[in-house]
Structure 1
Amino acid sequence: MPSDASEQESYVFRQRDETESSRLNFQHTIALKVSQGHLIHPSIDISSLKAVADIGTGTGIWLEDLQQQVHSQTRLDGFDISAAQFPSASKCTYQVHNILEPFAPEYHGLYDLVHIRNMVESGGYLQWEDFDFERIVTTGAASPTHAELISLTCSFFTGLGMSLNCSIRVEETMKQAGLADAIREQRNSYWDKSLDSDTKNWCWQSFGGFIPKAVLWSGKAKDEETAERMINEKLQVLGKEYQSGAVPNFAQRVIVGRKA
């Protein structure tokens, strides 16, 4: 595999520390609840999986949970641009790799479930999960602060060249690439009121993680200290709006395609 790529990364959150790892793990927990416990889309036969690659694995929590559901001989490999959040002890394998760089030939055609097409074997599945940022709106009471922060988030991500509705583009690309049975499924937390508290906490944590960078990028703050102060003030107001009945939607999309 390529050498450590961590120096090349550009992470939109402040840093890969325990706070960020906790946020990622909490986000995974909500996503699992929204998907009604499905780590893998029901259209895929989980019992037949022999090798799975998780790209952008982060803390490895998705693989660690999947390990409890697949056969003990199933190969589980996690890849990320940084090893900073890899589990310290695991039966899964974790390696540093920048997905913008080619994988070594020995990984091509190896996996029957993966996020990178070149590594999917014939008949294997590609599963992609992402957010539709423009749909992370609130229900219930109004939340002007949430709307303001989402607007800033969208501007920031667009400015970085990121897509706000990449699930549509991923589905189109799958079809253009010849993947069969491509489907795109929407998952929203507002269907389950028991998730209201979780989605509030998730949004609050997420805003605290990357909005300071967005504020600096927008020019609304001259330095990191000012940006941190501004966002802390916004988060206090946001917390009050959430307490008053505003509930953010955890808007996730899953796209699945099968390599012919």
Structure 2
Amino acid sequence: IGILYLDSKPSAHKYLRIILQHNLIKVFAPDGGIDTTIPKFGLVKIADIGTAGGLWLEELATALEKVPTKDGTTREFDGFDISDNFFPKTPPASFRFIKQNILTPFPKEFHGRYDFIHLRLLLAALKKEQIPTAVQNVIQLLAPGGYIQWDEWDATANSFVPENEAIQSAWHDNMAFLDRSGFAVDIPVYIKRAFQDQGLNNVMSAQYKSMKDAETAARSRPLIKLWTRSAWNVMMPFIHARTDDGKERSSEEAKRIVDEKLRELENYLEGGGQQSIGMIATIGQKGITN
């Protein structure tokens, strides 16, 4: 959780993790990454916030190829991110990529423009108190009647199969670290409240699970194994750099603890253990007269 933002230095390894995470989510999320409650034919101008390299935009564009627009208008896809490190060098003609901080008001040219706005996995990018500001800035971009969907990990759906005390303890350390750092472990609750406070209509939540059925679980299994390894390798050094009361550990002590945790994880995974994960999509619609 949050590995892409805590590990903020751009690198080929980081982008490979982005691709891995995206491909894992594709296994259990709806087709095109858009919830089934949102009517696709009305989506012409689309934005993705926190887009990285635009993988989600590309996937949605492909899924929408078989869905005509109401009047035959060509769809437009805009990706926003605080960093342009992973923006495509030569994007398709209908794609644009714009550098933008979600906590700063967007330029007026984008206000009221989009039929659909998507956000995903900003848990470790936004502190609890920043979420209302982010929502306010993004909602300004919605056209009247436009939809917004914000996908985040569902901490309540996380489990380990079979159960393992050492692995559960390490997961608890992860959650406690995020909470101490000011992030909202239960971020879907904050998002839903912010949507409602901003006056969005039809606010709802949809849950997607990696083990929702036997077929999905089987398809998820190899990707989750890789993703769990990757996430823990990034997170553990952050988590154990300090004690629970904030005292800095020596590099030797921190490394010893991290190596032990990673060794326990590896033994668990090699023994057939698996992490079960879930996501919550929070969805809302701007009123026609907003």
- TM more than 0.5: yes
Alignment check: 8 A CA contact 1:14 1:213 kept: no
- Shift of the 85–158 alpha-carbon distance from structure 1 to 2, 3 Å rule, reads same
TM-score by length of 1: 0.87
Q: How many angstroms does 1:128 deviate by? A: 0.4
Q: Deviations over 1:79-117 (max 9, x none)?
A: 111111222332121111111111011111011111421
2:244 pairs with 1:250: no
Alignment check: 8 A CA contact 1:25 1:59 kept: no
Q: How many angstroms does 1:243 deviate by? A: 2.2
Q: Provide structure 1 residue ranges, at least 5 long, that are not aligned to the other structure.
A: 1-9
The aligned runs of 1:217-236 (5 Å cut-off) are 217-218=242-243, 219=247, 221-223=249-251, 227=254, 230-236=257-263
- Residue 193 of structure 1 corresponds to 217
Q: Secondary structure, in 3 states, of the residue corresponding to 2:33?
A: coil
1:59 to 53, 57, 74: 53
- Residue 86 of structure 1 corresponds to 87
2:112 pairs with 1:113: no
The number of residue pairs the alignment matches comes to 249
Q: Deviations over 1:227-256 (max 9, x none)?
A: 456434422321211222321112211111
- Residue 19 of structure 1 corresponds to 13
Percent identity of paired positions between Structure 1 and Structure 2: 24
Alignment check: 8 A CA contact 1:110 1:121 kept: yes
2:41 pairs with 1:30: no
Q: How many angstroms does 1:121 deviate by? A: 0.8
The one-letter code sitting in structure 2 at the alignment partner of 1:118 is: Q
TM-score by length of 2: 0.79
- Shift of the 200–112 alpha-carbon distance from structure 1 to 2, 3 Å rule, reads same
The one-letter code sitting in structure 1 at the alignment partner of 2:238 is: K
- Residue 157 of structure 2 corresponds to 135
The one-letter code sitting in structure 2 at the alignment partner of 1:49 is: L
Q: Secondary structure, in 3 states, of the residue corresponding to 1:11?
A: helix
- Shift of the 144–17 alpha-carbon distance from structure 1 to 2, 3 Å rule, reads farther
C-alpha separation in 1, matches of 2:255 and 2:9: 14
C-alpha separation in 2, matches of 1:134 and 1:221: 30
- Residue 47 of structure 1 corresponds to 41
Q: Deviations over 1:105-158 (max 9, x none)?
A: 111101111142110011000100001235322122x33343233222112211
Please say which of residues 38-47 and 101-110 is displaced more in the overlay: 38-47
Q: Provide structure 2 residue ranges, at least 5 long, that are not aligned to the other structure.
A: 66-72, 119-137
C-alpha separation in 2, matches of 1:56 and 1:252: 17
2:173 pairs with 1:152: yes
Alignment check: 8 A CA contact 2:32 2:62 kept: no
Give me the CA root mean square deviation: 2.2
